[in-house]
């Protein structure tokens, strides 16, 4: 979910539903700190893609620290063996295939913003 969808979609974008795993406007402490650093560095607000990219980089860093063999399969295995992944909106487990086990959220474009739905 990127702001460009709303900007380029204009009025027809209103009411569009999305599924995601991160509410970029949540008040999770790590997420708030990341958004502050991101905005200071890039002079623009962080979006979901930036936050998930950060989460992926942290997972990769974790895998690199846990293996001395720097190959794709060995890094993947090291990440999988971690079990719990550190993330901006809370840590989450992965299954044996590396699929994240975290709840999906539904968002709706309302008044030019992505709003989480109940």
List the domain range (segments joined by +) for residue 116: 1-21+103-118
Nearest to 102 by CA among 17, 28, 5: 28
The torsion region of residue 37 among left (phi > 0), alpha (psi -120 to 50) and beta comes to alpha
* 61 and 111 assigned to the same domain: no
**26-40 pLDDT per residue, tens:** 999 999 999 999 999
pLDDT at 16 over 80: yes
The model's pTM: 0.81
**Residue 91 and residue 41 share a domain:** yes
Query: Over the stretch 60-105, which tens digit does the pLDDT of each residue have?
Result: 999 999 999 999 999 999 999 988 888 998 889 988 888 888 889 9
Tokens of 56: 């992926």
H/E stretch holding 115 = strand 113-116
Helix (H, G, I), strand (E, B), or coil: what is residue 50?
A: helix
């Amino acid at each position: 979910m990127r702001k460009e969808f709303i900007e380029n979609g204009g009025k027809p974008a209103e009411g569009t539903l999305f599924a995601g795993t991160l509410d970029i406007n949540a008040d999770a402490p790590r997420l708030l700190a990341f958004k502050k650093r991101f905005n200071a560095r890039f002079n623009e607000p962080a979006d979901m893609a930036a936050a998930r990219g950060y989460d992926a980089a942290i997972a990769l860093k974790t895998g690199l620290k846990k293996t001395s063999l720097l190959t794709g399969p060995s890094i993947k295995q090291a990440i999988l063996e971690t079990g719990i992944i550190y993330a901006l909106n809370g840590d989450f487990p992965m299954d044996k295939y590396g699929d994240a086990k975290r709840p999906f959220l539904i968002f709706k474009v309302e008044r030019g913003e992505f709003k989480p739905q109940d």
